Amino acid sequence: MATEATKPTTSSGVLEEFESSPALMLALLGQEATRRLRDALDAHDLKPRQYHILGLLHDHGPMGQRELGEAIGGVDPSILVTLLNPLEADGFVSRERDPADRRRHVVRLTAAGRRHFESATRAQREVEDALFAGLDEGQLRQLRSALDALRHNLARSRERACEPSETSEGC
């Protein structure tokens, strides 16, 4: 005899609501997109943060190690070292002391690093093309616009949550 807790859910129940929930759909699709993008980077022996580092060096040129850590989201210097060491060992980046400030390390993208980054970027673009293959240009523009609005709203929510108030001490 089925109890309330063991009764199967009908098609107009909670599961259907979850399947049409924009937040849940975004989370599930995000997981799949993340998996595919990570697989493309894994094929190039890169972690997402390492790809980000190579991209920053590619686009902005040599950077101080501290500035590089801040640019990828305020990564702790010890974590940054664990990301840079394999890149340096593989010949994708070089680190040298700044002659003007011996305490500062400058990180540079090597020619091999540039080629590797460009190859990983091609793989990443192929994944994106596959993810969005069913969308036309208008739908892609709408998606970008909706995602930009969502990102903006989330950033504003975080800013408001960090504002001191009478009942909280801020962030």
In this prediction, residue 101 carries a pLDDT of 85
pLDDT band for 165, please (50, 70, 90 cuts): low
Average the pLDDT over each of 4-8, 67-71, 137-141, 146-150 and give the range with the smallest value: 4-8
Question: What is the predicted pLDDT for the residue at 64?
Answer: 94
Average pLDDT along the chain: 87
Q: Of the given ranges (13-17, 133-137, 149-153, 167-171), which has the lowest mean pLDDT?
A: 167-171
Quote the pTM value. Answer: 0.74
Question: What is the model's pLDDT at position 160?
Answer: 76
DSSP assignments along 84-141, one per residue: HHHHHHTTSEEEEEETTEEEEEEEEE-HHHHHHHHHHHHHHHHHHHHHTTT--HHHHH
Q: Give the span between the Cα atoms of 161 and 171, in whole angstroms.
A: 7
Q: Is the pLDDT of residue 4 over 70?
A: no
pLDDT computed for residue 167 by the predictor: 53
Cα-trace Rg, the chain: 22
pLDDT for 91-145, tens place per residue? 999 999 988 888 899 999 999 999 999 999 999 999 999 999 999 999 999 999 9
Residues in the chain: 171
